[in-house]
């Protein structure tokens, strides 16, 4: 366990210190939760195009559950494990590039990584039959968002990977829930 933690620290410092002032604005923009709104608008349009108004409303309820699940589970882990973030960890914070706007005390696992991956898996699978290119694009976006948390100095790679794994599982679970709800309420499958 100690070796794994040390590897996580070393990998964080390596990845975090790859950053440069030239790229800082891009990664700060990408890690900002508001920067994804244009993507969400496009996804909402594609969902509406695929499922109509009633199906879109069901999808929005499912997405609300998905975001709530990832966020609240991240809070449970954060307060349960109380793992210091890199920007608070002595011996790490002195060597890291911290460029985030703020940094909380604890952060295991990354809620950003979890919710981005959950949404990517859920919507990617939801629309896979009509828009085959969307799933790989959303996975790429989720990976970039996850890496942005390392770049700005607020999460270790282990936090991000754990968040992505949990997010992928929640995205799959919500996909099954959506299929069940769609079949039950609309008496058809997709």
Instruction: Report angle CA 9, 76, 112 to the nearest 5 degrees.
Output: 60
Residue for token digits 């040390």? 6
Q: Supply the pLDDT for residue 106.
A: 87
Q: Supply the pLDDT for residue 131.
A: 94
- The pLDDT tens digits of the residues spanning 101-152 come to 888 888 889 999 999 999 999 999 999 999 999 999 999 999 999 999 999 9
CA distance 123 to 134: 9
Q: Residue 21 above 90 pLDDT?
A: yes
- The terminus-to-terminus CA distance of the chain in angstroms comes to 45
Closest CA to 116 of 98, 133, 140: 140
The domain ranges of the chain are: 1-186
**Two tokens at 170?**
């929640």
Q: Let me know: does 74 contact 110? Beta carbons within 8 Å.
A: yes
């Amino acid at each position: 366990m100690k070796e794994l933690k040390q590897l996580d620290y070393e990998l964080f410092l390596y990845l975090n210190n790859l950053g440069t002032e030239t790229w800082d604005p891009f990664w700060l923009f990408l890690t900002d939760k508001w920067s994804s709104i244009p993507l969400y608008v496009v996804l909402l349009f594609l969902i509406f195009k695929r499922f109509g108004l009633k199906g879109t409303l069901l999808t929005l309820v499912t997405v609300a559950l998905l975001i709530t699940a990832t966020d609240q589970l991240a809070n449970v882990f954060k307060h349960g494990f109380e793992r210091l973030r890199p920007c608070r960890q002595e011996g790490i914070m002195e060597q890291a590039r911290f460029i985030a706007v703020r940094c909380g005390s604890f952060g295991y696992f990354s809620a950003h990584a979890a919710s981005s991956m959950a949404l990517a898996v859920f919507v990617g699978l939801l629309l896979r039959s009509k828009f085959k290119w969307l799933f790989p694009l959303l996975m790429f976006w989720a990976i970039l968002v996850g890496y942005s948390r390392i770049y700005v100095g607020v999460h270790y790679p282990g936090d991000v990977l754990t968040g992505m794994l949990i997010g992928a599982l929640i995205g799959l679970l919500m996909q099954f829930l959506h299929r069940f709800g769609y079949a039950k309420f609309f008496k058809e499958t997709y």
